[in-house]
Structure 1
Amino acid sequence: MPFEREAAANSRPRPVLCALSYGATLGCPPVYAGSNDAPRRRWWLATTAFSCAAAAFAPRGWFCSMLLVIDVGNTNTTLGVYAGSNLVAHWRLTTERERTVDEYGILCRNLFTFSQLDPRDIEGIAIASVVPPLNFTFFRMAQTYFGREPFFVKPTENVGMPIRYDAPQDVGADRIVNAVAAYARYGGPCVVVDFGTATTFDAISEDGAYLGGVIAPGIVISAEALFQRAARLPRVSIAHPAQVVGRSTIGSIQSGLYFGYIGLVEGILQRMQSEMGNLQAVIATGGLSRLIGKGSPLITEIDENLTLEGLRLIYQRATQA
C-alpha cells in the first residue's frame, strides 16, 4: 500500500510546510527587495527562521491541522486543502465513474506534489458526494493514499443545521454543505444558487434552518439538449454576448442560452424572495457562478469555493461534537 510504504518516514523529523507562513501570523509581511523597513524585515526573518527550525523537529501537524475536502459532483469533482481555516490549494477535476481507486489516488498525489504539499500532513478528509457509485472508490482512496478514514456528509447527521425538508435523507449532500457555509458567512435569510450539472436554489431561514429549494436543468445540459435535437445548429461556447440581438446563428444561440438562463435565474429568485421576505444575501457558487452570477443584479455574492468551506465547517463541528 502506498501509505504503508511511507509509514516509517512519518515518524522522522521533517519540515512542516505550513510553518513557513508562521511569521505572517505575527503580522510580519514578506521581505520585498528594496524595503527600507529594516527592523520589521529583521523581525520577519527571525520569526521565519525560528518557525522553520522548530518545524523540523516538531511532530507532524503540530503547527496546523491539514484537512482535505472533496466535493464529488456529477460533472466535476472539486478538492481543497485547508491549513486551519485557510484554503491553501484547490483543484477541479472531471468526475469519471470508471476511474479506479489507484487512478484517483495517484491523481491526488500528483496534485499535492505540484502544489508542494505533503499528503502525510493530512489529518482528516471530508467528502460530500452525489455520485453513490464513487463513494467506495473515494473511501478506499482516502485509506490507501492518505491513511485516513474519510468523513462522509450525511444530511441527517452532524451537519449542525435543522433540515425542514419533507424527506431530509433525499437532500443532496452538496446542497446542505452550501447552506451551512452560506449561513456561516452571510447570515440569513439567504439563498444559494449552485451552477452545476443541475442548477439548485437553496433557501436558508433567518434562524439558520434549511428550508428547501428549487432544482432546474443546468445551462450546460440545456445547451446539449438543444444541439442534439436541432441538427443544423452548431455547438457554441457559453459566453456573455455583447448584446441581446444576435447578428449571426452563433451569436443568436449564445444570446438565447445566456440571457434565457439569466431570465430563469431571476424569475426563480424573485419568486423565492416574495415567499421568504428580504434576503441578507443571494450567493452564486459552482463552476459557472462567475459567468452567470455577474449577469444578474439579484446575485449579491459570488463564492466559487463555498462548498469547500461548508465541508470544512461540517467536519469541524462533527469532530468537535
Structure 2
Amino acid sequence: MLLAIDAGNTNIVFALVETGGAAGGKIRARWRIATDPRRTADEYAVWLNQLLVLEGFSRSDVSAVIVGTVVPRALHNLQVLSSKYFGTEAVIAGQEGAEWGFALDVEEPGNLGADRALNAIAGHARHPGDLIIVDFGTAATFDVIDYRGAYKGGIIAPGINLSLDALVTAAAKLPRIAITAPDSTSVIGRNTVDQMHIGIYWGYVAMIEGLVARMKAEVGRPSKVIATGGLAVLFEKHTDTFDVIEPDLTIQGLAMLWERTQIGN
C-alpha cells in the first residue's frame, strides 16, 4: 500500500491508500498530527507504528511513500522516515519525476503550493468541466481549474481559525470561542459570544459566497464548486455554494500523482 503524506502548515495527514486493481485509490486509514518541523523521523515512526497496529496494519504493509508539503523544513525528516522505517525513497510531489503534469497559466507558477496543485490533479480527474476548488486549511484558498485541467489562478484568504485567533489576540476583552455551525440563522447577536460567533461564521459564509460568485462571473462558463479541507463540512448546512464536498481531495491527488510516476516503471 501507499503511504500518502500531506504536510500542511497546521497539520500533517498520513493516509494509507490501496494501489492498483479495482480498489486502487481507496483510503484504508488516515491519521493527523500537528505540524512541527522539529519532529524527527524517529518520533514520527513511534507514533505511526502504534496507529498502524491499532488499525490492523504493520510497517511491512507500506510499499511506497509520497509526500506533498508546503512546509519545506518538514520535508527532510519525512524523507528519513520513509527510507529508514519503510525501506523506500519517498516520491516528492512536484519535484523531478513527479511533476504536476498540467499547465500553470499564472505569473508565478513556481509559487503554487503543493496542496493546491494536488487538488487540481484530483479535481480535474474526478470532475469534468471548469472547476472552482475551495480548500479550508490554515488559509482558505479558492482555485480555478479550466475544463482542460489548466490552473488559471485563485485567491488566498485567512483561514477561519486564523481570523478568530487574530481577533482574540488583538482584543483583550474578547474570549476564545469554538467555531461550530450555529443553531440559529439570526445575525443579530444578543451577547458577546453570540456576536463573535455570528461575525466569524456568517462573515465567513458571506465571504465564500461572494468570492465564488465573482469567480464564476469572471470565468464566464458553468463551474462546479468543490469544497475540501478539514473544515469544509462546517459550512455544508448553511450555504448552497458547494456542488460537492470532498474532504480527501489532496490525498487523492497524491495517490494519482504516485500512480502516474509508476507508468513505464
In structure 2, how many angstroms separate the alpha carbons of the residues matched to 1:269 and 1:280? 10
Aligned partners of 1:159 and 1:318 also within 8 Å: no
Q: Decide which of 147, 159, 177 is 1:206's aligned counterpart.
A: 147
Amino acid at match of 1:284: A
Please identify, of 147-156 and 172-181, the stretch whose mean Cα deviation from structure 2 is larger: 147-156
Q: Kindly indicate whether residue 35 of structure 2 is the aligned counterpart of residue 95 of structure 1.
A: yes
Q: Decide which of 196, 209, 212 is 1:269's aligned counterpart.
A: 212
Q: Secondary structure at the match of 2:63?
A: strand
* TM-score normalised by length of structure 2: 0.93
Amino acid at match of 2:208: V
1:131-170 paired onto structure 2 within 5 Å: 131-154=71-94, 158-170=99-111
Give, in angstroms, the shift of residue 118 of structure 1. Answer: 1.9
Cα gap change, 1:267 to 1:155, in 2 (>3 Å): farther
1:1-321 paired onto structure 2 within 5 Å: 66-84=1-19, 85=24, 86-154=26-94, 158-241=99-182, 242=184, 243-320=186-263
Aligned partners of 1:160 and 1:317 also within 8 Å: no
Q: Which has the higher helix share?
A: 1
Amino acid at match of 2:226: I
Aligned partners of 1:178 and 1:306 also within 8 Å: yes
Q: Secondary structure at the match of 1:269?
A: helix
The gaps in structure 2 that reach 5 residues or longer are: none
State the identity %.
38
Amino acid at match of 2:251: L
In structure 2, how many angstroms separate the alpha carbons of the residues matched to 1:198 and 1:113? 33
In structure 2, how many angstroms separate the alpha carbons of the residues matched to 1:155 and 1:197? 23
Q: Secondary structure at the match of 1:144?
A: helix
In structure 2, how many angstroms separate the alpha carbons of the residues matched to 1:210 and 1:278? 15
In structure 1, how many angstroms separate the alpha carbons of the residues matched to 2:252 and 2:124? 11
Amino acid at match of 1:73: G
* TM-score normalised by length of structure 1: 0.77
- 1:205-228 deviation digits (Å, cap 9, x = unpaired): 011111111100111010000001
Aligned partners of 2:179 and 2:201 also within 8 Å: yes
Amino acid at match of 1:138: L
RMSD: 1.4
Structure 1: 4+ residue segments shifted above 6 A = none
Q: Secondary structure at the match of 1:148?
A: coil
- 1:116-136 deviation digits (Å, cap 9, x = unpaired): 112112121111000001110
Give, in angstroms, the shift of residue 280 of structure 1. Answer: 4.0
In structure 1, how many angstroms separate the alpha carbons of the residues matched to 2:118 and 2:76? 20
Give, in angstroms, the shift of residue 169 of structure 1. Answer: 1.2
Cα gap change, 1:318 to 1:126, in 2 (>3 Å): same
Higher relative contact order (CA 8 A, sep 6+): 2
Aligned partners of 1:155 and 1:173 also within 8 Å: no
Please identify, of 214-223 and 183-192, the stretch whose mean Cα deviation from structure 2 is larger: 183-192
The alignment of Structure 1 onto Structure 2 pairs a total of residues equal to 256
In structure 2, how many angstroms separate the alpha carbons of the residues matched to 1:89 and 1:268? 34
Please identify, of 215-224 and 100-109, the stretch whose mean Cα deviation from structure 2 is larger: 100-109
In structure 2, how many angstroms separate the alpha carbons of the residues matched to 1:285 and 1:310? 12
Aligned partners of 2:216 and 2:223 also within 8 Å: no
The gaps in structure 1 that reach 5 residues or longer are: 1-65
Aligned partners of 2:70 and 2:115 also within 8 Å: yes
Give, in angstroms, the shift of residue 155 of structure 1. Answer: 7.0
Aligned partners of 1:155 and 1:168 also within 8 Å: no
Aligned partners of 1:240 and 1:254 also within 8 Å: no
In structure 2, how many angstroms separate the alpha carbons of the residues matched to 1:141 and 1:186? 34
Q: Secondary structure at the match of 1:307?
A: helix
Q: Secondary structure at the match of 1:294?
A: helix
